[in-house]
Chains A and B, each alone.
Chain A
Amino acid sequence: MLKYVIRRTLQMIPLLFAISVVIFSIIQAAPGGPEGTLLDRGMFVDPAAIDAYRARLGVDQPVYIQYFKWVGAMLTGDMGISFQTQRPVLMMILERMPDTLRLMGLSFIVAAIIAIPLGVFSAVKQYSTFDFLATGASFIAIAMPVFWFGLMMQYFFSVKLQWLPVAGTMTVGVGGFMDKLKHILMPATVLSLHSIAGWSRYMRSSMLGVLNQDYIRTAHSKGLEKRTVISVHAVKNASIPVVSVMTLDIARLFSGAVITETIFGWPGIGRMFIQAMHARDYPLLMGIMMMGSTMVVVFNLIADVIYGWLDPRISYE
């Protein structure tokens, strides 16, 4: 097992290099450059000033030179300086991390608490009214655009009922637990709904597969209570694939949620990513995307390890 983990960890290095080449090329291949923000000032800038600006940022050089400079700095732990804010990229990412993880983590936990029982009940009561309702609701939730749902929530809970605030993590000058809860409620609901819908479908189908297995019938025929059969024998085995899916989703927690964060004025990574993209802030984009990629690669490994640990039939030797 340890050998396997070490081997996989070593394999990550060339993989991440390859990812960085691809991301860097795609970012650079997008037309235009960071000087586009100069125009957003609503003023017109002397072309000579634009050239000077590009030279100052180093984007006037060939792409491969820019890449090697970036990699070289990255290897020494320097993620570069953001074009827009003139601040270190690492600092900007770390600054946004607590609020990102708070929102994403909360919606993750809430989604897990709801999705798993929902999937189990749907499977146990297959084709019941409950199952149909849950299935229908899941499809609606998956199909519903996040921005629309977010704005509708705002309209009802902030504009009509005036219960919840529209934006931010807290009321400046108030704070406190209830205030923060009110602020996180809507974005967390929007985000968790999507996960609930997805995960409960996985749980349901996995559970249905398990319920038809011989050992479940054996357990029933031994005279075990139905409750015990389901909660001890079935759920445990059915949750193995769901747990690995959820583990992979943990990687996403670090990248934030672009649309939800924008609508609810949430200071997360997702919104910073969008801003960086509009401004062609190459160092910040690279920083965020490499962090996201690293997380995906790492959590893939973790998911594999957990899978092997949960399911003894799988061996990595």
Chain B
Amino acid sequence: MKTWKIAFTTVLLLTCVFGMVFAGGQKDAGAAQSADGGKKILYIAYDRELDLFNPFTSQMLCDLQHNVSEGLIITNDKNEFIPVLAKEIPTFENGGVVKNADGTYDMTWHLHEGVMWHDGVEFTAEDVQFTLDFVHNTPQVYNQSEYNKIIKSEVIDKYTIKFTWDDLYTFYPGIFEAMLPKHVLGHLSWEEIARYEPYNRGPEFIGTGPFMFKEWKSGEYIRIVRNPNYWRGPQYPLIDEMVWQFIPDQTARFNAMKSGAYHIGQIEATQVKNFNTKGLHVEMIPSNVFYHIDLNVTKEGGRPELFSDVRVRRALYSAIDRKAIVDQLLEGTVQIANSPIPPTSAYHNPNIKAAQYNPEEAKRLLAEAGWRDTNGDGILDKDGVKFSFTFMNRSGRADRIAIAQVVQAQLKALGIEVLMKEYEAAAWSERWRNSQWDAQVGGWFMSSDASLTNYYHTRDGKNGSNNFTGMGNPELDQLMLKADKTLDFNERKALLDRAQQILADEVVSMYLYYRDSPWVVSDSLVNFRGSGTNLGNWWNAYEWDLK
């Protein structure tokens, strides 16, 4: 009796264990067919899970999407815009851009012919028009304001569309990085499209790209598979399938890459030294991200009594040992910056005269500005005000907080007290937008057109939409606005060179370094040419191969 009971319980428990391991197995459908035939499957250790596919309403950085949904353009590894579904990028030279009598500009895009959506319907200029209409009517598109400068559009024929811009802008070839299929979404209202589950999550997420959506297992992975009818020719793409496994934890992702089970994945700068797994290598991909410290010179929320004197700002910059930051925190994997435009851009100015590390010069400048330690407490003061300010740190941004800590130690040596205060993302952005902070460490994307206006133009309601430092220099404002409307490279380069020098002289933003992103890449992956722009590394995935 007792033996029977024990046996029964054991069997029951084992059944449970067995069942639990095996449960949820209905998704195995693809297993049998892909196990045979030697399919080329690329495994990606991805640092996040997407919120949704629609590249226009997603609140995250989009890269996966562009394997499926192509746009008129994309950015390559040289930080250039290259045409994808468009035959070429319209310019004055090729006659694609024409100035009208009323000061507006007509821009004509010619599309490739015979490009098919994944469901076999032909891609036409109507789809471009539909995409533009969607963006115009959907406020949550993060760069809607750029599209809003297209005041009129006209479908000339199946493969030609003409946009009329209210003025000339350098970002014009950098939008329309994805396309929405009119024949799939056209019957819905704009608000319905934003919430349309079949497109946002999968089965109806179609594009013209080299890969087609296959499966999204919530919380675990996304699978995309080869498009056999890709428009670049039947030989493309060369790999059969991509599996994007979500591994958000940094250390776990590092372990995942070291385990050799994945072909590609991003790691941290501090992990580079310890990565030496056979069959894989680390590629440092220069990104468009520049790290910098902002000082708040606004009268309302900032610290004008400390920072309004340019000598003080220059002293702070001279007191910060950027090389030490780069060596200590990033193991020397990145380049020191003197300007916001990274060397990946053709507009980078390598000849800027900026304050370099020189503590003696810093002391001299501070004394000249009247800052002395009169009460012997080890902290400089002037007119009864202590030289003490606070870094506004954003929770979870360990890289930036570490920089703030190093700077804190470096400035202490000069008798400057630096405090730290941490805010979570949303509270942080609230304070940032209201200029309620003293100083902050930022890591921002420089767009491929290298426009500086949003960051540094005097905030006047129209320009300088992210200038919360109080930076306002009339000469700089003019240069930046002029640069935004100048398409000739040499002319524009001269303007931006001068603008970068003014930024270095003003020292409201102290540039630290340009980030290189370390990516672990399998030796067997061919044709990987990483791109540091916000459109990601997958711009040429159609010609990737696994050897």
Contacts and interface: CB of A to CB of B under 8 A. Distances in A.
A36 interface: yes
A181 B247 CA distance: 19
Given A151-B255, A263-B252, A43 B142 contact: yes
B458 to A, nearest CB: 16
Given A86-B195, A110-B17, A113-B13, A95 B218 contact: yes
A166 B247 contact: yes
Interface string A7-49: 0000000000000000000000011111111111111111101
Given A32-B425, A32-B427, A166-B259, A96 B218 contact: yes
Nearest to B426: A32
Contacts of B252: 150-151, 154, 166-167, 262-265
Interface stretch (B24-32, B309-317, B358-366, B380-388): B24-32
B143 interface: yes
Interface stretch (B120-128, B154-162, B238-246): B238-246
B34 interface: yes
Interface in B43-68: 43, 45, 49, 51-52, 57, 59-61
Interface residues of A, number: 75
Nearest to B396: A278
A263 B455 CA distance: 37
Interface stretch (A101-109, A132-140, A199-207): A101-109
A99 interface: yes
Contacts of A109: 13, 16-17, 20
Given A96-B218, A159-B259, A181-B21, A40 B245 contact: no
A176 interface: yes
Contacts of B247: 166-167, 265
B195 A99 contact: no
A267 B142 CA distance: 29
Interface string A44-80: 1111011011001000000000000000000000000
B433 A42 contact: no
Contact of A46 (B13, B30, B424, B465): B465
Contacts of A145: none
A118 B246 CA distance: 37
Contact of A87 (B34, B200, B221, B465): B200
Contacts, number: 216
A268 B41 contact: no
B139 A56 contact: yes
Given A31-B427, A106-B21, A166-B247, A53 B139 contact: yes
Contact of B255 (A30, A87, A105, A155): A155
A167 B256 contact: yes
Listed residue (B17, B195, B396) with the most chain A CB atoms within 10 angstroms of its CB: B17
Given A172-B243, A175-B31, A42 B59 contact: no
B424 A31 contact: yes
A83 B160 CA distance: 37
Interface in B406-427: 423-427
A93 to B, nearest CB: 10
Give the one of A150, A170, A177 with max B CB within 10 A.
A170
A73 B429 CA distance: 31
Nearest to A31: B427
A79 B396 CA distance: 29
Contact of A167 (B144, B245, B426): B245
7 contacts: A43-B534, A52-B140, A109-B17, A109-B20, A172-B243, A263-B252, A264-B252
Interface of A: 30-47, 49-50, 52-53, 56, 81, 84-87, 92, 95-96, 98-99, 101-102, 105-106, 109-110, 113, 150-151, 154-155, 158-159, 162, 165-170, 172-177, 180-181, 184, 262-268, 271-272, 275, 278-280
Interface of B: 13, 16-18, 20-25, 27-28, 30-31, 34-35, 39, 41, 43, 45, 49, 51-52, 57, 59-61, 139-140, 142-145, 194-195, 197, 200-201, 217-221, 223, 241, 243, 245-249, 251-252, 255-256, 258-261, 289, 396, 423-430, 433, 444-445, 454-455, 465-466, 534
